[in-house]
Amino acid sequence: RDMELDLRRAFANGEFELHYQPLVDIASDRISGFEALLRWCHPEKGMISPAEFVPVAEDIGLIVALGEWVLREACTEAVKWPADIKIAVNLSPVQFRSRNLVQMVISALAQSGLSPTRLELEITESIFLAETEANLAILHQLRELGISISMDDFGTGYSSLSYLRSFPFDKIKIDRSFVKDLGERPDCVAIVRAISGLGRSLNITTTAEGVETMDQLDWLRAEGCNQVQGYLFSAARPAAEIEQLLFRFGRRA
């Protein structure tokens, strides 16, 4: 397909950029970290969403090199932030098949000088669909380094609760499809309540994604969710705006 060639060209030309979306602690109402979100600034087509090109990059294997670039870039940026601000980076399941993932992460941390305790890696349920044992071993090695592991888009994928028993996740990210109709649909409240309760009992932080309204925030607070992320606070913004965002949310950078 056309996009394959275009993606390889774009990677060689440095057309990718990282934007950062705040993760806000509900109790303190302060930013505790940022999620790095990949953007493709196409010379003719403008900004292209990762939802469009990440699946193609996965198909052609480019996600391994692109994902390495993302991690190195994110760590290099985050090391400039206040020491209590974390950086969350998405990992593709394809990166787990690239055998030297752990070495790559160690190298990115060492070269940037970022403490592993400031790095959160976001994975999706799909990594438990195949090569479960090998992937679990990788996750354990990453966590041994002091890195936090988050389960992204919780509740939308394979959704077996058994992996919560086989691996000590640090965070569960409640998919924004459950947040969207909070207050309008009782089933969404029930699901958010159940996931928050699960997090509390298992001592796992819960983060709600896609929070757009004060009403949603009130529901999430009432249900004991720990952290929020969404347009109510800020969309993902370029690195140059992070200092301003930290200032706006009660901290000096």
Question: Which residues of the shown chain bind Na ion in the complex (CB under 5 A)?
Answer: 152-153
Asked whether position 208 contacts ligand G by CB under 6 A, the answer is: no
Does 37 sit near ligand G (CB under 6 A)? yes
CA distances in angstroms from 215 to 193, 219, 232, listed in the order given:
15, 6, 10
Contact with ligand G (CB under 6 A): which of 152, 191, 204, 220? 152
DSSP of 66-79, one letter per residue? HHHHHHHHHHHHHT
| 51 lines the binding site for ligand G (CB under 6 A) | yes
Distance separating alpha carbons of residues 41 and 59, to the nearest angstrom: 20
Q: Cα dihedral sign for 233, 236, 237, 242?
A: positive
Is 73 a binding residue for ligand G by CB under 6 A? The answer is no
* HSE toward the beta carbon, residue 240, CA cutoff 13 A: 1
Tell me the residue nearest to Na ion as measured from the CB. Answer: 153
Single-letter residue type at 241:
E
- Rounded to a whole number of angstroms, the minimum distance from the CB of residue 154 to Mn ion is 11
Decide if residue 157 touches ligand G (CB under 6 A). no
Task: Kindly identify the residues of this chain, within the stretch 81-100, that bind ligand G according to CB under 6 A.
Answer: 90, 92
* Contact yes or no for 26/228 (Cβ under 8 A): yes
Among Mn ion, ligand G, Na ion, none, residue 221 binds (CB under 5-8 Å by kind) = none
How many residues bind ligand G (CB under 6 A)? The answer is 21
Candidate segments 25-33, 183-191, 194-202, 206-214, binder of ligand G by CB under 6 A: 206-214
